[in-house]
Structure formats: structure tokens, C-alpha cells
């Protein structure tokens, strides 16, 4: 009987601590969300091939993202990306920019503001069988712009078709893109509706069922890594 009472008292203490931690975590998460916003856009199946050009709205001032797939010669096609309109713009270029101004192909979750930037409104993704985006698959482009409100960082996710030189070489699909408010950080692939995964296990649990599911997946992932 005594052992059961001690266990009951211990459980009460844990519950009270849990409540305090949960409230604090939710308050911190709400405060962080209120400080800045991420503006996310999901275009519908936009494919560029055979001398296509497409623009997408970047903000309410008329600034745009520009994508090009153009014939560079009878035997090769050029895939490129740029910014149209901002007061200043810069892209994540590869160091030693070279003739074609190669745009860096970023890893998912890369902090955009920590990448190598160079001022410029236009760069090359792939051409003549070369370039960071020449292989088929998913890639991320990082960009920064200032429309008068301060510097803002963003990303674009594309799916490259690859292929041998010819009509469809370097064709690609624009999947989605996002940018953050001035002064706010953003990672490649980060969207406003994604759960925050750096809150720690307690914060995820406090966030409810979605947080609990993420926490369980992360624990399974760590277990698999340890087993390997």
C-alpha cells in the first residue's frame, strides 16, 4: 500500500511538470510563429521544355521569378533561372562563377542565408551536358532579394529531366517555392505549414498529435541508425 502511494505522488509531480513544460513550449512556438512569415507557392504542373519561358509572382510589387528552357545550339538546351524586378537581387552561385554563372544546387534543409551569394539577377542551371542541375532528380535553388523592405531569402524546388543532348535535354518542372519576411531565416524546402522539428521532443509532444507522430518517427530513425 505504501509503495502504491509513493508511486501515485510521483506521478502527480510528473503531470504537473508536464503541464508547465507543455504550456511553455506552446507559448514559445506561438511567439516564434508570430514574429515572421514564410510565403509558400505551389504552382500546378509547370514544365519547361522546347523554348519555354515562365514567370511566377514573387511579391505584391510585381517582382517575379523567371525560368527559361532555350535552344543554345542545334544540339543542346539551356536551363536557367533569374529574378525580375527587385531593387537588388542575388543568387546562390557557385564560387568561381565562370562563363555560365552556375547556380548552386542546394541540399534540402540548407539554411539559405548561410550559402555563398553573389549579386546578380540571372544564372545557369545546366547546359551542354554540364552544370549543377544536369542530372535528373530534385534540386533546390537559393535566392535573395530586396524590394525596399529589407533583404529576404527564398528557395525554389525543381525536378530536372536530364537526358542526352536533343530536344528534351535539361527540361525541368517547377515544383514549388517560398520566401521569408525581411530578416527572417528560411531553409531549402521549408514551408509555413510544416511542423517545427527543432523544438525538441518535449515541444513536439506539446504540439499535439502531429508533434507526437514526428517525435515517434525521429526515435525510430535514431534506432535504425544505431542498429546499422
Among 43-47, 88-92, 157-161, 185-189, whose mean pLDDT is lowest?
43-47
Residue 161's CB is within 10 A of a number of other CB atoms, namely: 19
Per the prediction, the chain carries an average pLDDT of 76
Residue 13, pLDDT above cutoff 60: no
Where do the DSSP E strands lie in 63-146? 64-73, 76-84, 88-91, 118-119, 122-126, 137-146
Region 91-116: what's the mean pLDDT?
A: 91
Write the CA distances from 117 to 35, 82, 121, 156, integer angstroms.
25, 14, 11, 15
- Cα 200 to Cα 25, 196, 221: the distances in Å are 10, 9, 15
- pLDDT of residue 75 exceeding 80: no
pLDDT of 42 higher than 80: yes
State the Cα angle at 96 between 81 and 65, rounded to 5°. Answer: 15
For residues 137-155, give the mean pLDDT. 97
- pLDDT, mean of residues 11-30: 39
Q: Binning pLDDT at 50, 70 and 90, where does residue 95 land?
A: confident
Q: What are phi and psi of 19, to 5 degrees?
A: -60, -45
Interval 77-97 mean pLDDT: 92
CB 26 within 8 A of CB 19: no
Residue 71 confidence class, pLDDT cut points 50, 70, 90 = confident
**CA distance readout (Å), 187 to 164, 192, 193:** 32, 11, 13
Does residue 28 carry a pLDDT above 70? no
Pick the range with the lowest mean pLDDT from 17-26, 60-69, 111-120: 17-26
Amino acid at each position: 500500500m505504501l509503495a502504491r502511494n509513493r508511486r501515485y505522488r510521483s506521478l502527480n509531480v510528473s503531470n504537473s511538470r508536464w503541464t508547465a513544460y507543455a504550456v511553455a513550449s506552446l507559448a514559445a512556438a506561438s511567439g516564434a510563429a508570430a514574429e515572421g512569415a514564410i510565403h509558400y507557392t505551389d504552382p500546378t504542373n509547370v514544365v519547361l521544355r522546347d523554348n519555354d519561358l515562365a514567370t511566377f509572382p514573387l511579391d505584391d510589387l510585381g517582382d517575379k521569378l523567371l525560368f527559361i528552357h532555350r535552344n543554345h545550339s542545334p544540339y543542346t538546351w539551356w536551363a536557367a533561372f533569374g529574378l525580375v524586378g527587385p531593387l537588388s537581387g542575388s543568387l546562390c552561385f557557385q564560387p568561381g562563377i565562370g562563363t555560365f554563372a552556375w547556380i548552386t544546387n542546394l541540399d534540402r534543409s540548407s539554411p539559405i542565408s548561410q550559402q555563398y551569394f553573389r549579386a546578380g539577377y540571372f544564372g545557369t542551371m545546366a547546359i551542354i551536358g554540364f552544370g549543377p542541375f544536369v542530372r535528373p532528380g530534385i534540386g533546390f535553388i537559393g535566392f535573395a532579394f530586396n524590394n525596399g523592405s529589407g533583404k529576404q531569402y527564398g528557395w525554389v524546388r525543381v525536378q530536372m529531366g536530364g537526358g542526352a543532348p536533343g530536344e528534351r535535354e535539361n527540361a525541368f518542372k517547377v515544383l514549388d517555392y517560398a520566401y521569408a519576411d525581411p530578416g527572417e531565416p528560411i531553409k531549402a524546402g521549408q514551408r509555413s505549414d510544416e511542423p517545427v522539428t527543432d523544438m525538441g521532443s518535449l515541444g513536439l509532444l506539446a504540439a499535439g498529435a502531429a508533434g507526437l507522430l514526428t517525435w515517434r518517427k525521429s526515435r525510430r530513425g535514431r534506432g535504425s541508425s544505431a542498429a546499422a
